[in-house]
Structure 1
Amino acid sequence: MHTPRTDPESRPGDERSTDLIRWAAFSCALVPVVLLWYGTSPAGAAGTTLGLAAVTAVCRLLLRRSERYAARLLTEAHAPCAAHRGRRQSTGTGSHRGGRHSGGNSPVG
């Protein structure tokens, strides 16, 4: 049976992505064996192995990057509200919204 991790830094997505990468690596090893079994040339099986390994490596990189991004978003979501304020804070009256103000109701000319 599969036991959950007790590592304090582990997140639920880590275990699933690790399992996914393990299955991908297993497939990279299994596909060339099947190709050789069915009579494909060793060079063709080797080329397929390299292609699958490259695709698996890129997918792993993208998966890890998306996990880090999601973890960062979760961290920012739990941060204080002051961290989310940008340069522009609401002034309440809207009198400092930018643009030219001529002082009265006279047209700008």
Structure 2
Amino acid sequence: MATFYVLPPRECLERAVTDLFAKLLPGLPLPVDAWGLLADQLGAAGGWEPDVFLVPRDELADGDTAGALTDGYGAEAGDRVVEVSLARPSRAWALQQADVSGAAVAR
């Protein structure tokens, strides 16, 4: 089973990484895709399973998160979804067969 972390939009992630490194390493430039590079390095160093996916919210179609993950990322029933927000606590849930079936019918 896969785990999908639905994160804030990429712009928010990039800004947070830039702000953090500006405080830690003032004056040093960061690559344009600092968030993507950092996420890759964390995954490799942390030994994350290959079925862990970090998905910025703006990479999903508007509306139904379950359907967007199914259509865009191949999520299946039983996969875990962790929705991360800067404004409220994270919410974790599992995709149900109805979530996956509904997305397939809509195609």
Note whether the superposition's TM-score is higher than 0.5: no
Write 1 or 2 for the structure with the bigger share of strand: 2
TM-score by length of structure 2 reads 0.29
Write 1 or 2 for the structure with the bigger share of helix: 1
Q: Which has the larger radius of gyration?
A: 1
| Higher-RCO chain (CA-CA 8 Å, sequence separation at least 6) | 2
TM-score by length of structure 1 reads 0.29
